[in-house]
């Protein structure tokens, strides 16, 4: 099949050249797949990719000494797994380490580059290999979340029967992106971003490694430059290594042949940070949730941070504005009715002036909503009214509050007995407006926060006036 090496390395890993571990000659721990020529021209992140479990940095919770998954990999008897983690957390690297160790045939596919045809061919060969040679197949699929349902379904039988041991890698929540049947046949392994100390270790190893890293360039990188890069890379080892390589290779050698990189040079190489954010993925919903809950908890600083995370990553500002308009009604409501006015003004400002200037209007709104008194009484009230509307009998509108635009309707009693509130001394008519079956139902129960007590007092006064006539006489039938 085009694009796959003889050892089944697939679309992700270059062919190793020479024999595979299954043929009796294991690759050495520091011999990268693809041979020296391929490694020489590869990016730094690929050149120094760990070859063994001991070289892996981070992920001690799942790969530390004595952990079940590590023992299973070392024994070459691991189950099908889904590796879930952010970019640069080591998903592909772990698959590469498995490839170096296993005696099984190893296949690697990218869900971006392969379709059902390629997948079915790999699975057919795996089935034949097991039947004819008794040899297992480990199938690594990068970005497995990009496979559609039909492609994922094609894996089911082969994973269940043991034709292949699946290693799927995804940056998206597998609960949403991997179908339930396939997910139930795999163990989900969560890989976390590397922390700054772990990234610092990776960077220093790359600087010191003469054979695979930057050691031959005699680079001298200031500690504050490395600390900046480790902190700014958001746990993404690949990003950090790529930036380090750029900074070092772009630094001119001094008289002694040393390439010196200070903080300013590292910041220039890093350029603009690409924030971890996917407008259609889980992180999108995580961050909008964080924004909403921070404001609800009256934390303006957290609200501003999560707002900036969204906007600086390229989120549609009008989407944010719509969510904040909803917040003004849902979480502030009648405790500060002006909140909805301010929210709509911010939406109009963003629509009128656009970005980046519109970010300040949204920031002002975030602070206003954070400082506003909170009440979800409106939210609860509407939810209860909606439940009654959907689950109870569709009660007829009382005749006295029906519209009567025609003589026939008037003859039928539409509008008879209606009392115009403005003509009443207190501005409230002694008249019920709910159907008889719901006459005593209360949906809106105001809190004692903000302006809501004032609204509560007015509504209670009106309720007492209406209760003076608990039942309006029904007009005699014609």
* φ, ψ (nearest 5 deg) of residue 265: -65, -40
Percentage of the chain modeled with pLDDT above 90: 39
Is the confidence at residue 414, as pLDDT, over 90?
A: no
Could you give the residue range(s) of every CATH 1.20.272.10 domain in the chain?
A: 282-371
Residue 205 confidence class, pLDDT cut points 50, 70, 90 = very high
Q: Is 53's pLDDT higher than 50?
A: yes
Q: In whole angstroms, what is the distance from residue 12 CA to residue 110 CA?
A: 7
Q: Tokens 């509108």 belong to which residue?
A: 397
- Coil, helix or strand for 349? helix
Cα separations in angstroms, 268 against 38, 243, 261:
29, 10, 11
CATH, range 282-371: 1.20.272.10
Report whether pLDDT(327) > 90.
yes
What is the pLDDT, as a whole number, of residue 272?
A: 56
- Give the CA angle between residues 349, 355, 359 to the nearest 5°: 65
DSSP string covering 244-304: HHHHHHHSPB-TTS-EEE-HHHHHHHH-S------TTSHHHHHHHHHHHHHHHTT-HHHHH
**Bigger pLDDT: 379 vs 37:** 379
The closest alpha carbon to 474, from 407, 420, 399, belongs to 399
- All CATH 3.40.50.300 domain ranges in the chain, comma separated: 21-190
Percent share of the chain, pLDDT over 70: 87
What confidence score (pLDDT) does residue 19 get? 35
Q: What band does 308 get if pLDDT is binned at 50, 70 and 90?
A: very high
pLDDT grade, residue 35 (50/70/90)? very low
Q: How many residues does the chain have?
A: 478
Residue indicated by tokens 């480990």? 138
Q: Exposure pattern of 46-71 as b/e (b: 16+ CB <10 Å)?
A: bbbbbbebeebbbbeebbeeeeebbe
Residue 276: what pLDDT?
Answer: 55
Distance CA 298, CA 369 (A): 8
Total Cβ atoms within 10 A of residue 38? 16
What are the CA-CA distances from residue 170 to residues 167, 176, 473 (Å)? 10, 11, 69
Q: Are 339 and 369 in contact (CB under 8 A)?
A: yes
What is the rounded average pLDDT of the residues 119-132?
91
- Asked whether the predicted pLDDT for residue 27 surpasses 60, the reply is no
Nearest to 31 by CA among 123, 82, 96, 110: 96
* pLDDT at position 293: 94
Q: Give tens-digit pLDDT for 76-105.
A: 999 999 999 888 888 999 999 999 889 999
Lowest-confidence region among 6-20, 73-87, 316-330, 396-410:
6-20
Which CATH number applies to 21-190?
Answer: 3.40.50.300
How many helices (H) and strands (E) would you count in the chain? 21, 7
- Work out the pLDDT band at 365, boundaries 50, 70, 90: very high
Asked whether 436 and 393 are in contact (CB, 8 A), the reply is no
Q: How far apart are CA 235 and CA 88, in angstroms?
A: 7
State how far the Cα of 241 lies from the Cα of 200, in Å rounded to an integer.
10
Span of 293-297, 328-332, 472-476 with lowest mean pLDDT: 472-476
Mean pLDDT of the chain: 83
What pLDDT score does 6 carry? 40
Domain 196-270 maps to which CATH number in 2.60.40.10, 1.20.1080.10, 1.10.8.60, 3.40.1390.10?
1.10.8.60
Q: Could you please report the per-residue DSSP string of 12-39?
A: TS----S--GGGT-PPPTT--TTHHHHH
Q: Which helix (H) or strand (E) holds 8?
A: none
Q: Comparing C-alpha atoms, which of 89, 304, 47 is closest to residue 190? A: 89
pLDDT over 60 at 10, yes or no: no
Q: Convert 442-461 to b/e letters by CB count within 10 Å (16 or more is b).
A: ebbebbebbbbeebbeeeee
pLDDT given at position 151:
84
pLDDT > 90? residue 337? yes
């Amino acid at each position: 099949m085009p694009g796959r090496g003889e050892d089944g390395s697939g679309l992700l890993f270059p062919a190793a050249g020479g024999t595979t571990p299954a043929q009796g000659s294991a690759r050495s721990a520091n011999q990268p797949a693809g041979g020296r020529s391929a490694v020489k021209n590869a990016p730094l992140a690929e050149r120094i990719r760990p070859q063994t479990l001991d070289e892996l940095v981070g992920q001690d919770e799942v790969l530390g000494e004595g952990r079940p998954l590590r023992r299973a990999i070392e024994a070459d008897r691991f189950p099908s797994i889904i590796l879930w983690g952010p970019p640069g957390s080591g998903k592909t690297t772990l698959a590469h380490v498995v490839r170096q160790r296993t005696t099984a045939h190893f296949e690697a596919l990218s869900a971006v580059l392969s379709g059902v045809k390629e997948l079915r061919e790999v699975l057919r060969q795996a089935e034949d290999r097991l039947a004819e040679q008794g040899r297992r197949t480990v199938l690594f699929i990068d970005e497995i979340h990009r496979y559609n349902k039909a492609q994922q379904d094609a894996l089911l039988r082969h994973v269940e029967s043991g034709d292949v041991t699946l290693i799927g890698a995804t940056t998206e929540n597998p609960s949403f992106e991997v179908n339930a049947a396939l997910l139930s046949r795999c163990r989900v392994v969560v890989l976390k971003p590397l922390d700054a100390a772990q990234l610092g270790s990776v960077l220093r190893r790359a600087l010191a490694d003469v054979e695979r890293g930057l050691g031959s360039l005699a680079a001298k990188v200031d500690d504050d430059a490395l600390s900046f890069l480790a902190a700014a890379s958001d746990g993404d080892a690949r990003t950090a290594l790529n930036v380090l390589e750029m900074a070092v290779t772009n630094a001119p050698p001094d008289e002694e042949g040393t390439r010196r990189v200070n903080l300013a040079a590292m910041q220039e190489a890093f350029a603009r940070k690409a924030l971890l954010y996917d407008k259609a993925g889980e992180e999108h919903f995580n961050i909008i949730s964080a924004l909403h809950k921070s404001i609800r908890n009256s934390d303006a600083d957290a609200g501003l941070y999560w707002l900036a995370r969204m906007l600086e990553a390229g989120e549609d500002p009008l989407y944010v504005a719509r969510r904040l308009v909803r917040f003004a009604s849902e979480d502030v409501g009648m405790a500060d009715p002006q909140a909805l006015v301010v929210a709509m003004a911010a939406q109009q400002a963003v629509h009128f002036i656009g970005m980046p200037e519109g970010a300040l209007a949204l920031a002002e709104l975030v602070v206003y909503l954070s400082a506003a008194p909170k009440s979800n009484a409106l939210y609860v009230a509407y939810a209860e009214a909606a439940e009654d509307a959907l689950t109870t009998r569709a009660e007829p509108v009382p005749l006295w509050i029906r519209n009567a635009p025609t003589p026939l309707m008037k003859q039928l009693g539409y509008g008879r007995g209606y009392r115009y509130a403005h003509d009443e001394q207190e501005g409230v008519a002694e008249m019920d407006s709910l159907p008889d079956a719901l006459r005593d139902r209360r949906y809106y129960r105001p809190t004692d926060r903000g302006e809501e007590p004032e609204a509560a007092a007015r509504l209670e006064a009106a309720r007492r006036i209406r209760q003076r006539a608990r039942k309006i006489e029904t007009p005699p039938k014609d």
